[in-house]
Amino acid sequence: MKSTKPVILIFLASVVIIIILMFGLPMYNVWQQEMAGKAEMAKAEQNRKILIEEAKARLEAEKLNAQAEVERAKGMAEAMKLENGTLNSTYNQYLFIRTLEKLADKGDLPQIIYMPSEGLLPVMDVSQKAKAGITVN
């Protein structure tokens, strides 16, 4: 009889472990899903905060750009007052060249060649005309 006692204890221990696992594993899975949901919620909240901060930064940048435009317009108005309300052709050429330089700095104009002429007409992107078979005289 003594030899069956350890077998019965092992069997009972196995049954208890199986019963614990039957109830414990589903509860653990529920807990694990709850924690995963909380982590996902925290991540979504953080992403929302990031989007709000980016929108605030864009708004601030737009406000500053608008202020810069107002100051630029004030400067232009002041310059026109100094010119007695009329702009001469030299000043217009200066503004034209400055605008072209800004475009070139941004990379919108690959190459500008100034041809001495009455109207200060620039020849732009000569290389593409040559590729297309157009000759430039």
pLDDT above 60 (res 104): yes
Average pLDDT over the chain, rounded to whole? 80
Write down the pLDDT at residue 137.
Answer: 45
Q: Do 50 and 103 belong to one domain?
A: no
Backbone angles phi, psi at 113, to 5 degrees: -120, 120
Average pLDDT in the 87-105 region? 77
Share above pLDDT 90 across residues of the chain, in percent, rounded to a whole number: 39
Q: Which tops the pLDDT comparison, 44 or 76?
A: 44
How many residues in total does the chain contain? 137
Total number of domains constituting the chain: 2
Q: Do 24 and 67 belong to one domain?
A: yes
- What's the whole-model pTM score? 0.42
Please provide the DSSP assignment of 28-50 as one string: HHHHHHHHHHHHHHHHHHHHHHH
Q: Do 76 and 15 belong to one domain?
A: yes
Q: Do 82 and 95 belong to one domain?
A: no
Span 53-73, pLDDT tens digits:
999 999 999 999 999 999 988
Q: Do 38 and 5 belong to one domain?
A: yes
Q: Whole-angstrom Cα distance, residue 40 to residue 66? A: 39
Q: Which tops the pLDDT comparison, 40 or 78?
A: 40
Other Cβ atoms closer than 10 A to 104: 14
Token pair of 86, please?
A: 């009329």
Q: Do 72 and 122 belong to one domain?
A: no
Q: Do 47 and 94 belong to one domain?
A: no
Q: Do 74 and 95 belong to one domain?
A: no
Give residue 136's domain range: 87-137
Q: Do 14 and 48 belong to one domain?
A: yes
Q: Do 33 and 75 belong to one domain?
A: yes
Q: How far is it between the farthest Cα atoms of the chain? A: 123
Q: Do 74 and 114 belong to one domain?
A: no
